[in-house]
Structure 1
Amino acid sequence: MRWFGFGFNAFTQTYVQEKSGEEDSCSSEREVKVSVPVELHSHALRGRISASWSRTASLFLDQDQCVYLAGFCASISSGSSGPVTVDTSGCKDAIISETHLSLAFPDRIESWDLQSKNEAPSWRMEINTQSENSDLKLPLVPGGYISSKSPVFHSLSSHLQAKSLALGGEHAVLLTVAGAVYTWGQGSHGQLGHGGLVPEEEPRTVEALWGMSMRSVAAGGWHSICIGDGGDLYVWGWNESGQLGLPSRGLRKTSQQKTDPQEEPPSKVSTCLGEELHEEVFISIQAFPALVDVSPPCEIRTVSCGSRHTAAVTTTGCLYTWGWGEYGQLGHQTTTSLDEPQCVEFFSSQNLHVVDVVCGPWNTFTAAVKKEVH
């Protein structure tokens, strides 16, 4: 399996550029904005990747299962700012934020303060290895979940029977074993999917999805996404940059001004009382889950959200991205933003089958394998 990275790279958290004998005036810009997927040659056999705005943590699932840190002040305690390998023998999962690195071991959970010089975790919890919930994937842990900010641990009611959890900028999206979706946290951008813009202190079921079984959830800065059992994609929240894959007024206006600066785009019109639409409708906030069409029709296997962009992998191994693309995080060899899912042609051109995708706030990482020849 080969991993690729693209997007924001100001702290070399996406990849370390190889030094060449010649450097031009554009070299610094190319280092910050990586718009073409670049293979992560060093430690290419990594197992999982977690990314924050300026940091990346890669977990090796083979041999000693160590964690490889890259980005701003990468080392936990040495003070080094370059990529480092942390001795975490036996670690089975890892997630990173701007302030903490959380690690899951078979018998314990640890959280390290990346801004501290202490050579010991700032928080630790023992795990009962006999428990049925001891094999949860971070940020879920037995009895609760790990947060990216202090306090690190938050409890969850056992009746939820959580299967997976996604943490956004200010909200959480939880998937139960039964396929129901619960959300809580800030709701100012419709990211909770309850139809309003108010916060929820406790997990509340997304009623619009009730009766439909979901198999995966993801959360971005202020938007949320889930995948139904049939591979359908449901989205809600903020759409300022087209991250929901719905018509964005800002993006359409920018695109139209580039082609015809004198012409104004059509304005949004009311849809109440059954009025007939003669102009295009733009969506800035989608407070209820909406079904997104990916063309050509396909089944979605997995999805991940950045701060204002989204990436999805189909069952046929294609990668689709959309939303904010200022740093090349969409992988389309441009820094253009999109409000419609578009296939990343790089992988098909390289005869690669995409199997996984992980979004950082402003970058994207994908795992791919060579397509089998029949």
Structure 2
Amino acid sequence: MRWFGFGFNAFAQICVQEKSNKEDSSSAAGEVKVNVPIELKNHVGRSKIRASWSRRASLFLDEEKSVRLAGFYASISNESFSPVMVDTRGCRDAIISETHLTLAFPDRIECWDLQSKKKVPSWSMEILTQSQNSDVNLPLVPGGYISSKTPIFHSLSSHLQAKSLALGGEHAILLTAAGAVYTWGQGSHGELGHGGLIPEEEPRTVEALWGMSMRSVAAGGWHSVCVGDGGDLYVWGWNESGQLGLPSRGLRKASQQKSEPQAGELCGSVSTCLGEERHEEVYISIQAFPALVDVSPSCEIRTVSCGSRHTAAVTTTGCLYTWGWGEYGQLGHQTTTSLDEPKCVEFFRNESLHVVDVVCGPWNTFTAAVKKEVLAT
């Protein structure tokens, strides 16, 4: 399995760019934006990726399990601000934020403050393997979940029977063992899916999805996504950059402004040239209820991940589709254009690669793929 990254790279969390002899603005821009998928070095075998805005944590699962960091801190060596060296051997799962690195071991959970020089975790808990489930799926931990902000630990009712949990910028989305979806937190952008824009302090079921079993959930900065058992994709929340895959006024206007000069030279406008009434297109700024999005007409969705304002989905046929904000090349289409419709990333198809997983950082995307010949054998 090979991992690729594209998007925001200002801290070399994707790759270390070779320095040009000429220190000009173009070379600096090249370091920040990676709009073509680049294979991560020394990243083979079974592994997971976790990403924050400025960092990447790579969890290696073969043989001696361990975590390696890339990005911010990796090049910092001054005494006033240096990371604590953490022993990650035996780690089974990890998540990283701008302030904390959380590690799950078979017998314990450790949360390390990356801004502290202390050689002990800022928070930890033991896992009693005889009485509790040791198969931790971060940010879920026995009895609750880990937040990227203080307080680190938040309790959850055992009645929820949580299977997985995703944390957005200001909200959370939880999937139960029965396939039900709960959300809570800030709801000002419709990211909770309850039809309103008010916050919820406690987990509340998304009633629009009641009776439909879901198998995975994901959360962006201000939007939410889930995949049904049948491979259907449901989205809700903020659509300012097209991250829901629904028509975005801002993106459509920008596209029209680019094409209108040429069209105007020919006939002025569609309505005056053809003598037809102009139909007002419906734009979605906030989708407060779950909406069904067709990513690929002939394929089911295998997995999905959300960045701050972009979304990426992998189909059961091994194709990667991305949409939303693309300013840093995080959509992988070799441009920095934003999209409000899912589009296949042709790079993997052209390289005969079958995509098996995707993980979005806030402004970048990481994808795991294997050669199609390997699948055939």
Normalised TM-score (structure 2): 0.91
Q: Which amino acid in structure 2 is aligned with residue 355 of structure 1?
A: V
Aligned partner of 1:331: which letter? G
Could you tell me how far 1:18 is from its partner in structure 2?
A: 4.0
Amino acid at match of 1:255: S
Counterpart of 2:155 in structure 1 is 155
2-structure distance, mates of 1:255, 1:64? 50
Equivalent runs, 1:34-45 vs 2, <5 Å: 34-45=34-45
Q: Distance in 2 between matches of 1:104 and 1:326?
A: 34
CA–CA separation in structure 2 for the residues paired with 1:243 and 1:81: 36
How far the C-alpha of 1:27 sits from its partner, in A, is 1.8
Task: Name the aligned partner's letter for residue 323 of structure 2.
Answer: W
Deviations for 1:207-236, whole angstroms, at most 9, x for unmatched residues? 000000000000000000000000000000
Partner of 1:356: 357
Distance change >3 Å, CA 284–CA 79, structure 1 → 2: farther
Task: Check conservation: 2:90, 2:105, Cα contact below 8 A.
Answer: yes
Are 1:293 and 2:284 an aligned pair?
no
1:1-374 pair list within 5 angstroms: 1-18=1-18, 26-45=26-45, 47-74=47-74, 86-260=86-260, 278-372=279-373, 373=376
* Contact residue 57 and residue 94 of structure 1 kept, 8 A: yes
Say which SS state the counterpart of residue 260 (structure 1) adopts: helix
Q: Is the 8 A contact 1:233 1:292 kept in 2?
A: yes
Q: CA RMSD in A?
A: 2.6
Q: 1:69, 1:86 within 8 Å by CA — same for their partners in 2?
A: no
Q: C-alpha offsets along residues 171-229 of structure 1, whole Å, 9 cap, x if unaligned? A: 00000000000000000000000000000000000000000000000000000000000
Contact 2:84–2:114 under 8 Å retained in 1: no
1:71 CA drift (Å): 1.2
What is the rounded CA distance, in whole Å, between the counterparts of 2:363 and 2:34 in structure 1? 11
> 2: distance between equivalents of 1:41 and 1:226?
31
| Distance verdict in 2 for CA 1:33–1:22, change over 3 Å | same
Q: Secondary structure at the match of 1:166?
A: strand
1:87 Cα deviation after fit: 3.0
Instruction: State the distance in 1 between where 2:255 and 2:372 align.
Output: 35
CA distance in 1: counterparts of 2:76 and 2:67, whole angstroms: 11
Cross-structure match for 1:272: none
- The amino acid across from 2:248 in the alignment is S
Aligned length: 365
Residue 366 of structure 1 aligns with an amino acid whose one-letter code is: T
Cα displacement (A) at 1:366: 0.3
Deviation at 1:74, TM superposition (A): 3.6
Give, in whole Å, the separation in 2 of the partners of 1:308 and 1:82.
30
Give the conservation status (yes or no) of the 8 Å contact 1:303–1:310. yes
d(CA) in 1 for partners of 2:123 and 2:82?
25
Q: Distance in 1 between matches of 2:125 and 2:25?
A: 50
Alpha carbons of structure 1 residues 197 and 140: separation in structure 2 relative to 1, 3 Å: same
Shift of 1:260: 1.6
Q: Is the 8 A contact 1:74 1:82 kept in 2?
A: no
Structure 1 unaligned runs (5+)?
A: 267-276
Shift of residue 130 of structure 1? Answer: 1.6
Unaligned runs of 5+ in 2: 271-277
CA 1:78–1:60: 2 relative to 1, 3 Å: farther
Separation in structure 2 between the aligned mates of residue 165 and residue 327 of structure 1, nearest angstrom: 27
CA distance in 1, matches of 2:301, 2:241: 22
- Secondary structure at 1:253 match in 2: helix
**1:274 corresponding residue in structure 2:** none
- Counterpart Cα distance in 1 of 2:104 and 2:185: 25
Q: CA separation in 1, counterparts of 2:305 and 2:85?
A: 26
Superposed CA deviations along residues 100-125 of structure 1, whole A, max 9, x for unmatched, are: 00000000000000111111111110
- The CA deviation at 1:40 is 0.4
C-alpha distance in 1, partners of 2:34/2:132? 42
Q: What is the CA distance between 1:297 and its match in structure 2?
A: 2.9
Given that residues 71 and 82 in structure 1 are in contact (C-alpha distance below 8 angstroms), is that contact kept between their aligned partners in structure 2? Answer: no
Q: Specify whether residues 26 and 82 from structure 1 end up closer, same or farther in structure 2 by C-alpha distance, changes over 3 A only.
A: farther
Amino acid at match of 2:207: E
Once the two structures are TM-superposed, the CA of residue 249 in structure 1 deviates from its matched residue by 0.2
CA distances 1:266-298 after superposition (whole Å, capped 9, x unpaired): 9xxxxxxxxxx9321000000000000123331
Which structure is higher in helix share?
2
- The SS at the match of 1:290 is strand
Q: Which moved more, 1:319-328 or 1:115-124?
A: 115-124
Cα gap change, 1:20 to 1:41, in 2 (>3 Å): farther
Q: Structure 2: how far apart are the matches of 1:315 and 1:141?
A: 29
Q: Is the 8 A contact 2:184 2:200 kept in 1?
A: yes
**1:80: Cα distance to partner?**
10
- Please report how far the alpha carbon of residue 72 of structure 1 lies from its aligned counterpart in structure 2 after TM superposition: 1.3
In structure 2, the residue corresponding to 1:26 is in which secondary structure?
helix
**Residues 125 and 46 of structure 1: CA distance in aligned 2, closer, same or farther (over 3 Å):** same
Q: Is 2:8–2:363's contact at 8 Å kept on the other side of the alignment?
A: yes
Counterparts in 2 of 1:349 and 1:221: CA distance versus 1, 3 Å: same
1:362 and 1:131 map into 2 onto residues whose CA distance is 40
Following the alignment from structure 2 to structure 1, what is the Cα–Cα distance between the partners of residues 75 and 129? 30
Compute the displacement of 1:20 (Å).
Answer: 6.5
Amino acid at match of 1:362: W
State the distance in 2 between where 1:186 and 1:352 align.
39
